[in-house]
Amino acid sequence: MLAYGELICDITEQVTNQWQVGENFAVLSSMQAISFQVILKAVFGLEDGPRYEKLHEFLITILNPKIPILRTVLLLFPSLRQDLGAWSPWGKYLRLRQQIDQLIYAQIQERKAQPDPSRTDILSLMMAARDEAGEPMTDLELRDELMTLLVAGHETTATSLSWALYWIHHQPQVREKLLQELDKLGEQPDPNAIFRLPYLNAVCSETLRLYPVAVSGLNRLVKSPLQIGEYNFEPGTLLIPSIYLTHHREDLYPESKQFKPERFLERQFSPYEYLPFGGGNRRCIGMAFALFEMKLVLATVLSRWQMELSNGKPVKPVRKGLLFSPAGGVRMVVKGKRPQNQSVLQTSSSSA
Ligand code: HEM
């Protein structure tokens, strides 16, 4: 994780260095830029250069279609998926996918030609893995895994970070307490020390409780008779765990619509009471990475920048596919750098 810590901090500094004092901007876009670059570098193992630039451009285009409803219609009605040339919606999608595949396969081939056991990116770890029969993953499997991690990990983390920045600035006392905690670590804290900060952890936990970005977990199919509480379920029943409703049980979380990080300092919640990353053996595999990223990005942004919400109106959640996203992307105004201009990151290039 330490290697990823340096990367996350450097990328956060690079992206936020583009902010202009007085600028009114949507935090979500900056957080998307950070989480996207973190995945391309930490998971795909890409380095700056033409392949990174091209893959970045093509993936952004495929993940953020200009007319999202068109993509949904094509997914729902397979008969509409006709390749009628490069200008037809499905034809355009297929060509883009082919270009992305070529770049990913080129990356895999390069790794095979120049193996380097010291690499820590997820692609390298997956390429080193062997199944029970001693076989490595095929190129197709590697491509599929990379794309799954990108799709599952990019928007979720960016949305959670945007909610966190919203709540932290909506309640100035939360920001003050966080800064006091961060400043106590001194000028060059270790990313692991940031990860262990209790109040920062409580703020992230409460952010993921109040509007969990994944409103529900993935579907579960009952295989043998099952009793949960007073309910009995027969085999074949489809269950969809509601994360949102669990997180708003008033018996567990009094005044559940209020942002109160202290709840997580006062007591511990069981995996059946608090489940922003789902649960059981299909729980989110990116949980540790996502929490590490959230804490380092927040620590870097807060210790370097003074910002305010652009207006005092409460930001409401809107459904964006399966995610609970902040309406408008959380608009904020950059007021300036923090006076002491402390950098939380010992390793970042700009603070060196
Ligand atoms: C704050 C950020 C994130 C949140 C809130 C989140 C939440 C979730 C949830 C609720 C599930 C469903 C689990 C279940 O049904 O039990 C899930 C699955 C998954 N997540 Fe995440 N996730 C986040 C970040 C990430 C990241 C960074 C990655 C990878 C880099 C990732 C990869 C996955 C994968 C591959 C699955 C499917 C697991 C399976 O089916 O076995 N997630 N995530």
Domains of the chain with CATH codes: 2-45+119-351 (1.10.630.10)
Closest ligand 1 atom number to CA of residue 243: 10
- Tracing tokens 């997914």 back to the chain, one arrives at 75
In a mutational test of the pocket of ligand 1, which residue from 32, 36, 156 has the highest number of ligand atoms less than 8 Å from its CB? 156
Query: Which letter does DSSP use for residue 286 in this model?
Result: T
Nearest to 123 by CA among 147, 100, 101, 102: 147
Radius of gyration of the chain (CA): 22
Q: Is the ipTM of this complex over 0.95?
A: yes
Report whether 13 contacts 348 (CB < 8 A).
Answer: yes
Which residue intervals of the chain are DSSP H helices?
2-16, 27-42, 50-63, 68-76, 89-113, 122-128, 139-170, 172-183, 191-195, 198-210, 243-247, 263-266, 287-304
Going from the Cα of 264 to the center of ligand 1, the distance in angstroms, rounded, reads 22
Q: What is the pLDDT of residues 147-199, one digit of tens each?
A: 999 999 999 999 999 999 999 999 999 999 999 999 999 887 899 999 999 99
Going from the Cα of 153 to the center of ligand 1, the distance in angstroms, rounded, reads 7
Whether 279 is in the pocket of ligand 1, judged by its Cβ within 6 Å, is yes
Structure tokens at 203: 């703020």
> Which residue has the CA at smallest separation from atom 6 of ligand 1?
277
Q: What is the pLDDT of residues 97-126, one digit of tens each?
A: 999 999 999 999 999 998 888 898 999 999
Nearest to 242 by CA among 272, 203, 263: 272
- Cα 13 to chain centroid distance, Å, stands at 17
Closest ligand 1 atom number to CA of residue 275: 10
C-alpha span between 293 and 21 (Å, rounded): 25
Report whether 163 contacts 207 (CB < 8 A).
Answer: yes
